[in-house]
Chain A
Amino acid sequence: MRSVEDIACVFPASLKEALEIQADEKRRGRILAGGTDLMVQWESGLQPAPERVVGILGVPELRGIREEDDAIVVGAATTHWQLHTSALVRQFAPALAASAATVGGVQIQSLGTIAGNVANASPAGDLAPALLVTGGSVVVASVAGERTISLAQFFLGYRKIDLKPEELIVRFVLPKLPYGFREGFTKLGPRAAQAISKVMGAWRGKASAGVVESFAVALGSMAPTAVRLGDLEAWLPGKKINKKLLDEVEAKVTASLKPIDDIRSTAEYRGWVSGRLVRGFLEELAHVCG
């Protein structure tokens, strides 16, 4: 039985070095960033410890948050703590900052990374809904070059992402919150902190005079991956936010997804409260946008 003690690790000092290792089938290993998911799985035996691991926290090209025209660019190894304390993220992707602040406690936030969270692709991954509503992309790299994939297409299924074995996630390109738009995020868990969500959601939208102009909304822990409610998003523009609309939206949302029972919650509650959550988002939109 292999334990973490037996894992052979390399710690590349540059992106070039990391990509060359991953390009070589004989040297390729599991990519390890903060370890807040993988180390738990390997130590507990939930997943067998791999033979080889490539630790990427020392790769400088994966760090940093910067502005680039209408987007913010977030390095793969950015921690949750860095996300929610970054002035850029708080201003231009506030739902992402809010999500990062709800991950575990300070200690987990100090270690866990955006790429790790996305690559783990848990249905309850805290950052996915906020990332999805930005309409952003992820950039992955290999020795062959870079590939940009829309986040909407990146989550393929339960714990599956569009990443080839020789590729590495290097950065996220997230359209800034446009002028006049707002964002929000809500996570419902079994306690106030350090909890995996029962249901969560993020939204980005604009309204004026109580009428929806644009509305993007994504829910997590409701399906094998986080999901954008595309049909609802297409239907809403032009509608006035009033009680009748909110009742309709609540019913549509509850009817549209098939969540499951698990140790945290029930399908019945998830189905019901997801409608309530999106209703709340629209009320918030009306309130902040006027």
Chain B
Amino acid sequence: MKTVKRTWVVNGESRTVDVPPARRLLDVLRVELKLTGTKEGCGEGECGACTILLNGQPVVSCLMAAGHVPDGSELMTVEGLEKTENGRLLQEAYVEKGAAQCGFCIPGMIMSSYALLTRNPHPDEAEIRTAHAGNLCRCTGYQKIVEAVELAATKWKRA
């Protein structure tokens, strides 16, 4: 099996992988890059637990062929949040509001929150809900997640 080499900027650090070209990006993150924060909930792009940011855009990593992610792409996973001020305040807002219960959907959910606030730091409730419609949660009923994003929005630092 011919593998491909890719060099990406992952959570601010340059990382190189050498993998079968259609290996799922989710598996490359969890196994090769040892970033187990991103989760597999369904393997079919429905639950959003595998959500990461690709050049700032939320994507479901379980449906992406690693080879299709070009060199130089910027990837951000949940582990990268604490490296930025906005990421940390978003995490704090989630903790303060009690937004996590079992926590399994949270790595994907919080990446969708980060992408939304980066794009739109003053979302209304409808915009918050639409931005997270691709992240399923079975524990919380979503209410405290919405409140956490609203709280983070009040403190968000614009670029």
Total residues of chain A contacting the partner, CB 8 A? 31
Q: Which of A103-111, A124-132, A242-250, A265-273 contacts B (4 or more CB under 8 A)?
A: A103-111
Interface size for B (C-beta < 8 A) is 35
> Cα distance A194–B45 when bound, in Å?
10
How far does the alpha carbon of A44 sit from the alpha carbon of B44 in the complex, in Å? 8
* B64, CB-defined interface residue at 8 Å: yes
Select one of B2, B48, B54, B65 contacting A35, CB under 8 A. B65
Q: How far is the CA of A264 from the CA of B116 in the complex (A)?
A: 31
> Does B112 lie at the interface of the complex (its beta carbon under 8 Å from any beta carbon of A)?
yes
A22 CA / B6 CA spacing, docked (Å): 24
Q: Tell me which residues across on chain B come within 8 A of A55, comparing CB atoms.
A: 21, 65, 67-68
Contact B134 A7 (CB under 8 A): no
A35-B64, A36-B45, A43-B43 given; A108·B70 CB < 8 A: no
Q: List residues of chain B with CB within 8 A of the CB of A158.
A: none
- Decide if A107 touches B23 in the complex (CB within 8 Å): no
| B1-28 with Cβ < 8 A to chain A | 1-2, 4, 20-24
With contacts A7-B22, A9-B67, A35-B64 taken as known, whether A40 is within 8 angstroms of B2 at the C-beta atoms is no
Question: Is B95 engaged at the interface, CB distance under 8 Å to the other chain?
Answer: no
Interface string of A79-110 (1 = CB under 8 A from B): 00100000000000000000000001111101
The 8 A CB mask of A170-199 against B (1 = contact, 0 = none) is 000000000000000000000011100000
Contacts of A106 in B (CB 8 A): 58, 112, 115, 130-131, 133-134
Interfacial chain B residues near A107, Cβ < 8 Å: 45, 48, 51, 58-60, 112, 134
Interface membership of A5, Cβ < 8 A = yes
- The CA-CA distance from A106 to B135 in the complex, in Å, is 9
Interface string of A1-43 (1 = CB under 8 A from B): 0001111110100000000000000000000101110011001
Q: Is the CB of A108 within 8 A of B133?
A: no
Say yes or no: is A57 at the interface (Cβ < 8 Å to chain B): yes
Chain A nearest CB: distance from B155 CB in Å? Answer: 23
Q: A9-B21, A43-B44, A58-B70 are in contact. Are A36 and B63 (CB under 8 A)?
A: yes
Q: Are A40 and B44 within 8 A (Cβ)?
A: yes
A40 CA / B59 CA spacing, docked (Å): 14
Q: Return chain A residues, CB-CB under 8 Å to B65.
A: 4, 7, 9, 32, 35, 39, 53, 55
Instruction: Tell me whether A194 and B54 are in contact in the complex, defined as CB-CB below 8 angstroms, given that A5-B23, A110-B59, A111-B63 are known contacts.
Output: no
B42-81 near A? 1/0 per residue, CB < 8 Å: 0111101001001001111011110110100000000000
Distance of A40 Cα from B44 Cα, bound (Å)? 5
Residues of A within 8 A of B136 (CB): 194
Set of chain A residues within 8 Å of B57, measured between Cβ atoms: 81, 110
Which residue of B has the minimal Cβ distance to A193?
B133
Q: How many Å lie between the Cα of A53 and that of B48 in the bound state?
A: 25
What is the CB-to-nearest-CB distance from A107 to chain B, in angstroms, rounded to a whole number? 4
Pairwise interchain contact B24-A6, C-beta atoms closer than 8 A: no
Q: A34 — which chain B residues lie within 8 A by C-beta?
A: 63
CB contacts (< 8 Å) of A58 on chain B: these are 68, 70
Nearest Cβ on chain B to A38's Cβ, whole angstroms: 9
Distance of A57 Cα from B64 Cα, bound (Å): 11
CA distance A45 to B133 in the complex (A): 27
Complex contact A35–B134 (CB within 8 A) = no
CA distance A212 to B51 in the complex (A): 46
A58 closest partner in B (C-beta): B70
Contacts of B67 in A (CB 8 A): 9, 11, 55
Least distance between B111 CB and chain A CB atoms (Å): 9
Q: Distance in Å from the Cβ of A150 to the closest Cβ of chain B?
A: 31
Residues of B within 8 A of A (CB): 1-2, 4, 20-24, 43-46, 48, 51, 54, 57-60, 62-65, 67-68, 70, 112, 115, 130-136
**Sample of 14 further A-B pairs with CB below 8 A, known A105-B135, A106-B131:** A4-B65, A5-B20, A6-B1, A7-B21, A11-B4, A11-B67, A36-B60, A40-B44, A40-B45, A55-B67, A106-B134, A107-B58, A111-B63, A192-B133
The 4 A-B pairs of least Cβ separation, nearest first, read A105-B134, A193-B133, A9-B21, A7-B22
